[in-house]
Amino acid sequence: MAPDSSLDSPSDIDRRRQFILANTGRHAPPLVPEITLHLATEIVPMWQMTEEELSATGLEPPFWAFAWAGGQALARYILDNPDLVRGKRVLDFASGSGLAAIAAARAGAAWVSAADIDPLSCAAVLCNAALNELEIEVLEDDLVGSANQGWEVILAGDICYEQPLAGRVEDWLRGLAGQGLEVLIGDPGRTYLPKDDLEKLHSYAVKTTRELEDTDVRKTSVWRVLSP
């Protein structure tokens, strides 16, 4: 397996990894203590940086540096229901930290790909996979609208926070579900979660922080996208 194949040169990858290691600590998400990630915390300077400060340094907001509630719920559900992914080819879309991808690999998926458009996210997935002694293919690409590349299961956590992104992703995921793929969404009640053709599989109370959310606990559900 060549997990770095879709990224930039080795020197670029190394710089990104070094940035991640220098600006995060090792922590287990509250709902998924079996997995350790490189995450930002209140003791890490990047935690306090505003979007304006990040932009001045040429960085996107570090969504990859936090274990968001939707990803935690997906990871927990996969670990508790490994038959969903065991022996299958899995895509973790908009992977962020790679938490759901790591859970799928740990649950016995035959092949796991993690896709994100943020280069630092892709580097974070590689760092986190290595931390958990797993291999994950990383795709630095916007896959929305693309044809199935052999996936059997699609995981998508925390994707419904803004329009028009949510609408584009919804149409794409519904199309894949219509082809017989298992498509799961982890979502803590975001505004743009689709209202139709979803089956709730499970709900969790996910501990969070008011630095990220407006509450200390978010009720977060795992949904199956039904065929249109």
The answer to whether residue 2 scores a pLDDT higher than 50 is: no
Q: Which helix (H) or strand (E) holds 171?
A: helix 165-178
The answer to whether residue 19 scores a pLDDT higher than 50 is: yes
Which residue(s) pair with 220 in the sheet? 204
Question: 82-85 long-range contacts, Cβ below 8 Å, gap at least 24?
Answer: 82/107, 82/108, 84/153, 84/182, 84/184, 85/109, 85/153
Q: Which of 204, 224, 227, 155 is nearest to 29 (CA)?
A: 204
Domain boundaries, the chain: 10-225
Q: Which residue has the tokens 């790679």?
A: 98
Half-sphere exposure of 194 (CA within 13 A, CB side): 26
Say if residues 156 and 46 touch (Cβ distance below 8 Å).
no
**CATH annotation of 10-225:** 3.40.50.150
Q: How far apart are CA 191 and CA 85, in angstroms?
A: 28
pLDDT confidence of residue 217: 87
Structure token digits, residue 115: 């896709």
Going by their DSSP bridges, the two strands 182-187 and 217-225 should be labelled as antiparallel
pLDDT confidence of residue 159: 87
pLDDT confidence of residue 4: 38
Burial of 27 (0-12, 13-18, 19+ CB in 10 A): middle
Give the least confident one: 183-187, 192-196, 213-217, 220-224: 213-217
What would the pLDDT profile of 139-195 be if each residue is shown by its tens digit?
999 999 999 999 999 999 988 776 666 778 888 999 999 999 999 999 998 877 888
Laid out side by side, the sheet with 89-93 consists of: 137-139, 111-115, 89-93, 153-157, 182-187, 217-225, 198-207
Give the least confident one: 25-39, 75-89, 202-216: 202-216
